[in-house]
Amino acid sequence: MSDSTLRDLTQPLIDHAEGQLFLNEAFKIIVEEVLHKGTDAEEKVCEWREPESLALLLDLQLRDTGESQGRLLQRVRNVAKYSIKTSHPHFFNQQFGGVDYHSLAGRFLTEALNTNLFTYEVAPVFVLMETEVLKALRQLVGWTDGDGIFCPGGSTSNMYAMNLARYKLFPEVKTKGLWALPRLAIFSSPGSHYSVQKGASYLGFGTDSVVLVKVDDGGRMIPEDLDAKIELAKSQGFVPLLVSCTSGTTVLGSFDPLDCIADVCDKHQLWMHVDSVSWNPHKMLLAGLQCSAFLLQDTTNLLKRCNCANASYLFQQDKFYDVNLDIGDKSVQCSRKVDCLKLWLMWKAVGSTGLEHRVDKAFLHVRYLLEQMKKRDGFQLVSTPEFVNVCFWFIPPSLRGKEGNADYQDKLAKVAPVIKERMMKEGTMMVGYQPLGDLGNFFRVTVFSPHICHKDMDFFLDEIERLGKCL
Amino acid sequence: MSDSTLRDLTQPLIDHAEGQLFLNEAFKIIVEEVLHKGTDAEEKVCEWREPESLALLLDLQLRDTGESQGRLLQRVRNVAKYSIKTSHPHFFNQQFGGVDYHSLAGRFLTEALNTNLFTYEVAPVFVLMETEVLKALRQLVGWTDGDGIFCPGGSTSNMYAMNLARYKLFPEVKTKGLWALPRLAIFSSPGSHYSVQKGASYLGFGTDSVVLVKVDDGGRMIPEDLDAKIELAKSQGFVPLLVSCTSGTTVLGSFDPLDCIADVCDKHQLWMHVDSVSWNPHKMLLAGLQCSAFLLQDTTNLLKRCNCANASYLFQQDKFYDVNLDIGDKSVQCSRKVDCLKLWLMWKAVGSTGLEHRVDKAFLHVRYLLEQMKKRDGFQLVSTPEFVNVCFWFIPPSLRGKEGNADYQDKLAKVAPVIKERMMKEGTMMVGYQPLGDLGNFFRVTVFSPHICHKDMDFFLDEIERLGKCL
């Protein structure tokens, strides 16, 4: 006990009035730096610093003694300044972007309330609200009934599906583990999210259990190959467990043909994930990280039966209200953040129609972007976009017409990383690139934010040209 | 496409100025309802409503059209009003409570920035910050070097340990799954958190793999029994994998004897969890939900080797900066919230010394509470507290001196639920109760919040007496 004796610890350690004053000042800085300047197309997306110099600038080290309020407010400003402005109209780096102020108000309220979403007694509003939001999401999927839960991200949602599928087929896995089960096989496409691999490893299946089904030129799973791979797996002694389909693959934005895959699943009696659904409203719907719903059609309480541990300190059965409202035992988490309020408040603000507009608007901008690309030299599509991901190579003038050269592909693959480095160091824009299978590095621009307009698309193309023209 | 045609979708759909105005108004309501009234001892902790009437009151249903700003602000107020005030000085229901305003400012900033913590390019500040905060936490544990990651809650942290332990012993589990491994055994105590069971199920071990070691009267794991259970498991063909110890069990707050357990682990070459550590600064340190660190001593990049999937769209190896800064592949999540900023800003504000004061203060209040209990009739301890959990039965006047009666235990077990119902319906206080093994329902008061003072402890005891005296 250091200098505790100097303080009267019998008195409250935190002064509410002083704290609220600090919060008020911090709020003003957040609005100014992140929401005002951070969304201004004239300002930078990124204030690049080398890691060593950024660490020095931020003075991250934690010490024994505290700091003044003024110094702390300067820290709030610095964190904002050197962080990426994900709501900037020129942030195209990831599958999220933009800010919704109603959602953000919901997020602030969530943080202030600091509710743990496991029981009705401690989270009455949010138990009811999560149930209602999940119902509304299921209705958009087209399901009249079912179950679900909000998870910390889409990877976790996908893992829920894999875990549920095996429990449904072999309930004994919960107590006896995978040793008691035959070898299982999971089917997915090479374009599916990497969480299928991570989940296979984490949940004990092993990544060898994941069978990759062939895709067509557009990156869509081929049902005939799925059928063949299932037959093959069976012949090798595997029990086919589930097909993890994708509606909008990570890179190309491809949609697996769900109807045809459903027929194959029916034929072999497989769990079809998408039959359960992982849906991330923190992406296109702008709910903010994290907001990922795992939805399923089941009405037999499968989720709870699979995951429950019946902890008697939390889920007592002799409570004075309906204990079915204690939804926490459906989760593999104990402490669980409230992820529904932000989506609910935003939805209340703009209605389903307003959310629909955002999706429509994104498609409209993608169409505009594609038209403009056609009018310019050097923009070559990787595939025809099905969704709001536009994948393309930028061919700098020096490489145009050199497709036949032996080193063309190597040189082309080096273009995107250099342009990316330049844009980040100048801070004008952010967009991702990646290779895919045999294809060398190409850009993937994701058109998500409802803040953008045609001039931002024009800026995007101008900027790629400007940064890449001398390569 | 509904009435999209009525709107010019080429223009931004969200007006920043209007949005910031709404946020400003919502912020005022949050401060007033949650932080000002919500921390006032004269106000209610809980505004109890039956689920049906609460659902009606809140009008949760989501519709096609949006609502006015005034209506939405009223919704913000209503959500606050009917939610539990977890920062109220009379909230003793869970292992968290109270508000730290610097942390809260960090949380608001986190939400506004909406950063996804996977790569340096998109999260430069937070990659460096998380590394620094984990280092500081490890130093408090007593480790000079190591690794770690923030997880969405302590259950996930515990699962990380179980997953790592098996990967370290049998790296082939990542590709081949548990089928390629001998049956494994996990050792824990009956008082350990239920996430050990959930993890065993989720990760494919099965709950039968969890061997419960006997505990002493204080709920602490008995090392001799651990040794015996390990030998027994070996003789039954199991490979002992890890011991999941607990420093502060959920209900009693017991501390397993780590040194003696370490000797047993050394003897049998077992992974000792606590040798990796799950630490939840969202509990006693007031960082706010979710803030859970998984720490380990490993310096061989075990965490990344175990969890990586090397997704080429995110973790490209040809970036212009040191790609070791792309820490996201250590995680089993893809999208991952920033959980370090709030803790970092709070720590900067009060220093390690300020955090230490909070812990000291909690122990001081526990001592006071125990002294006061001794002075009153009817408060009977379940065990001598080691930590800040105080577990006790309240014996109402009608049961005092009736310990010999055949129905005494049954009657006593019914006391806590009734008192709990009364306090919630009146909204004056919240505290949890539970049975444990053969012991009937008792209260567990957790003394966490740095806002409380002796009079809140007095109020707690008065209120239990008032609500229970006529039982």
DSSP, collapsed to helix, strand or coil, labels residue A468 as helix
- DSSP E strands, A216-371: 239-244, 271-273, 276-279, 292-296
Q: Do B349 and A14 touch (CB under 8 A)?
A: no
- Residue A143, amino acid: W
- A244-283 pLDDT, tens digit each: 999 999 999 999 999 999 999 999 988 887 668 999 999 9
Do A14 and B450 count as a contact with CB atoms less than 8 A apart? yes
- Report the distance separating Cα A158 and Cα A188, nearest Å: 12
> Most B CBs within 10 Å: which of A56, A61, A108, as the mutation test of the B interface?
A108
The pLDDT value recorded for residue A2 is 44
**pLDDT at residue number A450:** 86
Closest Cβ–Cβ partner in A3, A178, A306 for B179 = A178
What's residue A1's pLDDT? 40
B168 touches chain A (CB under 8 A): no
Instruction: Categorize the per-residue pLDDT at B5 as very low, low, confident or very high, splitting at 50, 70 and 90.
Output: low
Q: Taking a C-beta distance cutoff of 8 angstroms, is the pair A289, A280 a contact?
A: no
> Which pLDDT value is given to residue A134?
98
Q: Are B105 and A22 in contact (CB < 8 Å)?
A: yes
The answer to whether A372 contacts chain B (CB < 8 Å) is no
Query: What is the rounded distance in angstroms from the CA atom of residue B234 to the CA atom of residue A192?
Result: 41
Whether residues A93 and B159 touch (CB distance < 8 A) is answered with no
pTM for the whole structure = 0.97
* Token output for B346: 């709070």
Helix axes A69-82, B101-113, angle to 10 degrees: 20
Q: How far apart are CA B200 and CA B186, in angstroms?
A: 8
Q: Chain A, 65-84: which have a CB under 8 Å from a chain B CB?
A: 65-67, 72, 75-76, 79-80, 82-84
pLDDT value of position B313: 87
B199: nearest Cα among B234, B241, B233, B238: B241
**Among the listed ranges A289-293, B49-53, B87-91, B274-278, which one has the minimum average pLDDT value?**
B274-278
ipTM above 0.85, yes or no: yes
Please state which of the ranges A139-143, A456-460, B215-219, B444-448 shows the lowest mean pLDDT. B444-448
Nearest to B378 by CA among B392, B367, B366: B392
Measured between beta carbons, the chain B residues lying within 8 angstroms of A316 are 417, 433-435, 441
Residues forming a β-bridge with B293: B150, B279
CB B146 within 8 A of CB B138: yes
**B91 at A interface, C-beta within 8 A:** no
Average pLDDT for consecutive 10-residue bins of chain A (471 residues)? 61 92 98 97 97 97 98 98 97 93 98 96 98 97 95 96 96 98 97 96 98 96 97 96 94 95 93 84 93 96 95 89 94 96 98 95 94 97 94 97 96 97 97 94 91 94 97 90
Helix or strand run (H / E) with residue A467: helix A454-468
pLDDT per residue over B368-388, tens digit each?
999 999 999 999 999 999 999
Mean pLDDT value of segment B90-119: 96
Residue B17 forms contact with A (CB below 8 Å): no
> How close is the nearest chain A Cα to the Cα of B172, in Å?
8
Q: What is the mean pLDDT of chain B?
A: 95
The answer to whether residue B178 neighbours chain A at the CB level (below 8 Å) is: yes
Query: Which whole number is the average pLDDT over B179-197?
Result: 96
Residues near B222 by beta carbon (within 8 Å), at least 6 away in sequence = B213, B214, B215, B216
Residue-wise pLDDT tens digits, A405-420: 999 999 999 999 999 9
Coil, strand or helix at A341:
helix
Chain A stretch 204-263, residues whose beta carbon is closer than 8 A to a beta carbon of chain B: 204-209, 250-251
Rounded to the nearest angstrom, the gap between the alpha carbon of residue A99 and the centroid of all alpha carbons in its chain is: 15
Contacts of A409 (CB under 8 A, 6+ apart): A440
